[in-house]
């Protein structure tokens, strides 16, 4: 088998476009919080104000660049696909991850909607297997779409034999 | 369905009554000396004499209270094994009841520490692989039952039903009919193996730890202890000792090292004898693998054959350099609290000769072609380049640290010299470091950094050589590690998914970490830094069909970059 001739194709579906907004909002909130950490003392503490302000600038610039770059990047990477035999996802931006789990090994499927996700009408689908390596998560799906995915997964896993361990 | 009736009938059994006695004896052995000691101390102390009467009654009350609680516990805890389930009730105030299907039982662990063994008792821990709520343990523990009960439990729980019936699993060992005594011995302790025990990094660590403890005790006593000791033993003063040490550095350093090593060797050897005495590994007719070991605490662990999904061959650096190895189980239901306990529980052999370990591992896997031979597939050169890059970064960091230390060194010789030597005299009594600062050249730090760099690059080469992955008839193999080289062979049927992850650096070098996820052992076994295509091909070969729908062929050497990268 000539080895370098193989590679994974990206999963078929992108996540919802609104996920970009969601990621942006999330990154912005984090940026505000961690910028406040050195910025607030800078107002009150006279002697080391210069250092605190420099720290503030560094943190703010880093945070804002992440806020600008990360959501677009993630949107290119985050993809998912559910077939009759397996769940296949890709996620991440700098560090990227592809996950495959066969239907016969899926234990539970659930959806979650955080407050911020709800603002944008999004949901996450979490697919748990018996592995200690953690569940597979498809985040940033349209709410209706997420429900469909869960229904499809539940139906398929019920039809697939196996003790899920 | 919850049989909360407290009747001892219908198969319910309790803990052994001797439990209370065993706990009482241990409690008395701890409490009595403490009470007596406290009484003496209080009597000698310049206090009203009435104080010294208190400890003994207090100790008696504590003892009585503990024994009473123990009696209550004895009555509250019960268990029974029915055809389908194991049930256990417990709890003094909050009653708890747990019931697990017998086919979920994955391991039975019978342990008998010395103080329990003299009463003919043992602790039974049943691994279930499912936890009771968040953070709950996935184990049932009975503390203590008689050795007979323990043996009975072990036998009952790992035998699939008293009536031969198909369990719905298409495994060949489903009958549970065969006579108990048909067992195959896989390994038995060879006392020569204890020679490998001191071959760990801990050997020197223990000695250094002992020395550091002494130094810190001396520091906490503000040098008074040392003064007292030196008057008593007619030791020379600190300055004289310092001069003496400096004068004979070449002799004393190797001598100290040797003494530390000797001390460490004795401790590790004693630990190994305690842990692995009477070691025996057998496979019963129904496929259950049973481990027995221990001198003071005798331990017996049974893992159902079906749950033993693989074997890990561990070769820590020092052990590897003397040709030794040890074996751990990759099994479901062996997790216990934290990772360290889990690792301790999954050990299947002491340090033994590598050849023997490989043979034993292959026997455990029941496979004719041992997956522990030379690992067939070499990882790309890029993986070596990555490790060189890391070594380079480490060397740079070491050089920076050396620079900083050199500055401190120069200061210690000059401006700080007096202040530091007085601090040191206070803490250790011996002006070791300020003496050393005088005696050693300033550029010494950079020599150390250079040495560190050399070691880092040697380590990089070693860890690249350690990488490997392969596929065998029933198993997949991954190998990695320099400090601890671990070769894992895991059943291909135990793979429950794949995870491929790539850092920015790995993407640039066309590498990937390809992990097989599983319910057994650590949950994820990784072929680190394989070529992307190589890794995908490996995964597809190990579990045909799972990845196939998502794999595409590209022209080799097309140089096409990943699609899903940079915007």
Q: How far is A162 from chain B (nearest CA, A)?
A: 9
Same domain, B42 and B136: yes
Predicted confidence at residue B151, as pLDDT, reads 84
Residue (of B328, B355, B343, B191) closest to B272 by Cα position: B191
Q: In angstroms, rounded to a whole number, what is the distance separating the alpha carbons of residues A46 and B164? A: 82
Task: List, in sequence order, every residue forming a beta bridge with A142; answer none if it has no partner.
Answer: A122
Q: Within an 8 Å CB–CB cutoff, is residue B330 touching chain A?
A: no
Q: In angstroms, rounded to a whole number, what is the distance separating the alpha carbons of residues B514 and B526? A: 6
* Among A1, A2, A5, A103, the residue to mutate for chain B (most B Cβ within 10 A): A5
Predicted confidence at residue B76, as pLDDT, reads 86
Per the CB < 8 Å rule, is A100 touching B547? yes
Predicted confidence at residue B521, as pLDDT, reads 79
- Total domain count, chain B: 4
pLDDT at A86 over 70: yes
Report the side by side order of strands in the sheet with B96-101: B13-14, B78-81, B85-90, B96-101
Does residue B534 form part of some domain?
Answer: yes
Q: How far is B555 from chain A (nearest CA, A)?
A: 6
End-to-end CA distance of chain A: 31
Residue (of A123, A126, A127) closest to A141 by Cα position: A123
Does residue B473 form part of some domain?
Answer: yes
Per the CB < 8 Å rule, is A69 touching B332? no
* Residue A75's pLDDT band (cuts 50, 70, 90): very high
Residue (of B566, B541, B380, B532) closest to A9 by Cα position: B532
Q: Within an 8 Å CB–CB cutoff, is residue B338 touching chain A?
A: no
Determine which helix (DSSP H) or strand (DSSP E) holds B534, and give its type and residue range.
helix B532-542
Per the CB < 8 Å rule, is B501 touching A96? yes
Spatial neighbors of A30 by CB under 8 A, at least 6 apart, are A63
Does residue B96 form part of some domain?
Answer: yes
Per the CB < 8 Å rule, is A6 touching B536? yes
Does residue B288 form part of some domain?
Answer: no
DSSP-derived letter for residue B560 is P
pLDDT at A133 over 90: no
Last residue of a domain, one of B429, B464, B499: B464
Same domain, B449 and B352: no
* Beta carbons of A49 and A58 less than 8 angstroms apart: no
**Prior bond of B144 cis (ω within 30°):** yes
* Beta carbons of B357 and B327 less than 8 angstroms apart: yes
Q: Which chain B residue has the Cα nearest residue A11?
A: B550
Same domain, B323 and B410: no
Contacts of A8 in chain B (CB under 8 A): 500, 532, 536, 547, 550-552
Per the CB < 8 Å rule, is A133 touching B515? yes
Same domain, B45 and B120: yes
Contacts of A7 in chain B (CB under 8 A): 532-533, 536, 551-552, 554
Q: In angstroms, rounded to a whole number, what is the distance separating the alpha carbons of residues B460 and B451? A: 14
Last residue of a domain, one of B236, B255, B274: B274
Q: In angstroms, rounded to a whole number, what is the distance separating the alpha carbons of residues A63 and A51? A: 18
Does residue B298 form part of some domain?
Answer: no
Does residue B17 form part of some domain?
Answer: yes
Of A101, A132, A163, nearest to B524 by CB-CB distance is: A132
Same domain, B402 and B475: no
B342-347, long-range: CB within 8 Å, 24+ apart, which pairs? B345/B109, B345/B301, B346/B312, B346/B521
- At the topology level, CATH places domain A79-159 in PH-domain like (2.30.29)
Instruction: Tell me the per-residue pLDDT of B58-72, one tens digit each, with 9 for 90 and over.
Output: 889 999 999 998 888
Determine which helix (DSSP H) or strand (DSSP E) holds A139, and give its type and residue range.
strand A136-142
Q: Within an 8 Å CB–CB cutoff, is residue B411 touching chain A?
A: no
* Beta carbons of B475 and B310 less than 8 angstroms apart: yes
Q: What is the mean pLDDT of chain B?
A: 80
Q: Which chain B residue has the Cα nearest residue A1?
A: B537
Same domain, B120 and B258: no
- The 3-state DSSP class for residue B335 equals coil
Q: How many residues does chain A have?
A: 165
Q: What is the mean pLDDT of chain A?
A: 87
What does the radius of gyration of chain B's CA atoms come to, in whole angstroms?
A: 30
* Residue A7's pLDDT band (cuts 50, 70, 90): confident
Of A5, A88, A131, nearest to B523 by CB-CB distance is: A131
Predicted confidence at residue B6, as pLDDT, reads 41
Does residue B5 form part of some domain?
Answer: no
Same domain, B319 and B370: yes
Per the CB < 8 Å rule, is B537 touching A88? no
Contacts of B501 in chain A (CB under 8 A): 92, 95-98
Residue (of B183, B117, B175, B178) closest to B146 by Cα position: B117
Average pLDDT over residues A17-33: 94
Residue (of B99, B79, B86) closest to B15 by Cα position: B79
Does residue B567 form part of some domain?
Answer: no
Q: Provide the CB-side half-sphere exposure for B374 (13 A, CA).
A: 4
* Beta carbons of B337 and B175 less than 8 angstroms apart: no
Per-residue model confidence as pLDDT tens for chain B (567 residues): 334 434 445 778 888 888 888 888 888 888 888 888 888 888 877 777 677 778 888 889 999 999 998 888 888 888 888 888 888 888 777 777 888 888 778 778 888 888 888 888 888 888 776 554 444 456 788 888 888 888 888 888 877 554 333 333 333 343 344 444 567 888 899 989 998 988 887 777 777 777 777 767 666 665 565 666 666 666 566 666 666 666 666 777 778 888 888 888 888 899 899 889 889 999 988 888 889 888 888 888 888 888 888 999 999 999 999 999 999 998 876 665 566 677 777 889 999 999 999 999 999 988 877 788 776 788 999 999 999 999 999 999 999 999 998 888 888 777 777 777 777 776 666 666 666 667 777 788 889 999 999 999 999 999 999 999 999 888 999 999 899 999 999 999 999 899 999 999 999 999 999 999 988 878 889 999 999 999 999 999 999 888 888 888 876 554 444 443 333
Residue (of B532, B549, B566, B514) closest to A77 by Cα position: B566
Contacts of A5 in chain B (CB under 8 A): 533, 553-556
Interface of A with B (CB under 8 A): 1-11, 69, 72-73, 76-77, 79, 81, 83, 85-86, 88, 90, 92, 94-102, 105, 129-133, 136, 163, 165
Structural domain including B426 reads 381-464
């Amino acid at each position: 088998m000539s080895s370098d001739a193989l590679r994974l194709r990206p999963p078929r579906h992108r996540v919802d476009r609104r996920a970009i907004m969601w990621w942006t909002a999330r990154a912005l909130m984090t940026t505000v919080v961690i910028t406040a950490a050195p910025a607030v003392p800078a107002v009150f503490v006279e002697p080391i104000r210069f250092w605190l302000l420099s720290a503030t600038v560094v943190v703010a610039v880093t945070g804002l660049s992440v806020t600008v770059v990360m959501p677009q990047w993630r949107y290119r990477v985050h993809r998912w696909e559910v077939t009759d035999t397996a769940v296949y996802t890709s996620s991440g931006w700098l560090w990227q991850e592809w996950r495959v789990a066969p239907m016969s090994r899926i234990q539970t499927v659930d959806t979650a909607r955080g407050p911020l996700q709800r603002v944008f009408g999004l949901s996450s689908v979490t697919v748990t297997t018996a592995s200690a390596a953690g569940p597979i998560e498809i985040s940033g799906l349209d709410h209706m779409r997420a429900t469909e995915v869960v229904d499809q997964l539940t139906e398929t896993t019920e039809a697939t034999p196996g003790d899920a361990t | 369905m919850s049989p909360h009736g407290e009747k001892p009938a219908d198969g319910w059994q309790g803990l052994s009554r001797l439990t209370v006695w065993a706990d009482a004896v241990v409690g008395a052995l701890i409490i009595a000396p403490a009470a007596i000691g406290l009484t003496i101390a209080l009597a000698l102390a310049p206090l009203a004499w009435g104080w010294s009467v208190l400890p003994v009654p207090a100790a008696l009350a504590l003892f009585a209270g503990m024994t009473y609680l123990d009696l209550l516990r004895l009555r509250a805890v019960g268990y029974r094994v029915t055809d389908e389930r194991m049930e256990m009730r417990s709890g003094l105030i909050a009653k708890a009841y747990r019931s697990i299907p017998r086919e979920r039982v994955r391991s039975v662990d019978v342990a008998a520490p010395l103080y329990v063994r003299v009463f003919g008792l043992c602790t039974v821990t049943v691994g279930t692989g499912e936890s009771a709520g968040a953070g709950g343990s996935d184990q049932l523990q009975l503390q203590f039952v008689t050795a007979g009960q323990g043996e009975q439990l072990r036998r009952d729980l790992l035998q699939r039903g008293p009536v031969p019936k198909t369990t719905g699993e298409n495994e060949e060992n489903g009958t549970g009919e065969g006579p108990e005594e048909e067992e195959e011995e896989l390994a038995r302790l060879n006392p020569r193996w204890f020679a490998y025990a001191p071959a760990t990094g801990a050997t020197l660590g223990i000695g250094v730890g002992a020395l550091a403890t002494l130094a810190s005790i001396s520091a906490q006593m503000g040098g008074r202890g040392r003064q007292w000791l030196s008057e008593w033993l007619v030791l020379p003063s600190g300055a004289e000792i310092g001069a003496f040490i400096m004068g004979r550095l070449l002799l004393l350093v190797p001598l100290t090292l040797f003494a530390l090593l000797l001390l460490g060797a004795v401790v590790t050897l004693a630990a190994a004898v305690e842990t692995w005495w009477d070691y025996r590994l057998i496979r019963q007719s129904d496929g259950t693998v049973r481990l027995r070991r221990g001198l003071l605490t005798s331990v017996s662990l049974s893992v159902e054959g079906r749950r033993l999904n693989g074997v890990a061959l561990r070769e820590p650096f020092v052990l590897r350099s003397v040709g030794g190895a040890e074996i751990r189980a990759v099994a479901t239901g062996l997790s216990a609290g934290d990772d360290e306990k889990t690792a301790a529980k999954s050990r299947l052999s002491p340090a033994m000769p590598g050849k023997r370990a490989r043979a034993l591992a292959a026997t455990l896997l029941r496979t004719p072609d041992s997956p522990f031979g030379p690992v067939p597939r070499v990882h790309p050169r890029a993986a070596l380049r990555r490790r060189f890059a890391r070594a380079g970064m480490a060397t740079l960091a070491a050089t920076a640290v050396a620079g900083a230390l050199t500055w401190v060194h120069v200061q210690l010789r000059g401006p700080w010299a007096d202040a530091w030597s007085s601090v040191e005299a206070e803490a250790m009594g011996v002006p070791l470091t300020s003496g050393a600062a005088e005696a050693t050249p300033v550029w010494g730090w950079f020599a150390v950094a250079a040495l560190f760099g050399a070691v880092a690059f040697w380590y990089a080469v070693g860890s690249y050589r350690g990488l490997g992955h392969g596929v065998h008839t029933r198993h997949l193999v991954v190998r990695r590690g320099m400090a601890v080289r671990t070769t894992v062979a895991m059943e291909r049927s135990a793979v429950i998914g794949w995870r491929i992850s790539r850092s920015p650096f790995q993407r640039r070098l066309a590498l990937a970490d390809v992990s097989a996820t599983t319910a057994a052992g650590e949950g994820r076994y990784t072929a680190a830094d394989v070529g992307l295509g190589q890794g995908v091909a490996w995964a597809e070969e190990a579990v045909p069909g799972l990845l196939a729908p998502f794999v595409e062929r590209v022209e080799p050497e097309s140089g096409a970059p990943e699609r899903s990268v940079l915007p």
